[in-house]
Amino acid sequence: MSELVGLNSNHLDLDLGIVRVMGKGRKERIVPVGVKAIEVLNAYLEERGMLGGEEPIFINSIGGRLTARSVGRLIKKYSRHSGIFRKVSPHSLRHTFATHLLDAGLISRDPGDVRTFKSLNYSEIYPCQHGEIDGGL
């Protein structure tokens, strides 16, 4: 969650379809952004009026950086609005995403395998053009 709320405008490259995120231990990862996410982000950024430098990408109603707690509340609100009444959290969404990657053979549970979730490598897992990626962020 901290990666999402910590995103700044200079971390996002929609032309390349990637976002640079800082993970635990200040490790930088390059993450592909799916086609649908690029479309939605472009619309959001166009409506918002974009941004330069290190401005936060996701802001609250008063213009401050969105917090992890706010994202959790939004997930709860919109899952209920969508008719999902079980508990949905940022962690459960991340787990679901990882499960889909496992099922698709894009990552492995074997710690010796280079495709483990902790060591996802953009060039090994997504060798296609970013326009062909349907999932992603």
Question: What is the helix, strand, coil percentage profile of the chain, to 5?
Answer: 45, 15, 40
pTM equals 0.65
CA 112 from centre of chain: 25
Cβ neighbours of 12 (radius 10 Å): 21
* pLDDT at residue 97 greater than cutoff 60: yes
At 26-71, the pLDDT tens digits run 888 888 898 999 999 999 988 888 667 788 999 999 989 999 999 9
* pLDDT at residue 117 greater than cutoff 60: no
Residue among 44, 14, 58, 8 at smallest CA distance from 28 = 8
Distance CA 125, CA 113 (A): 12
Share of the chain above pLDDT 90, in %: 32
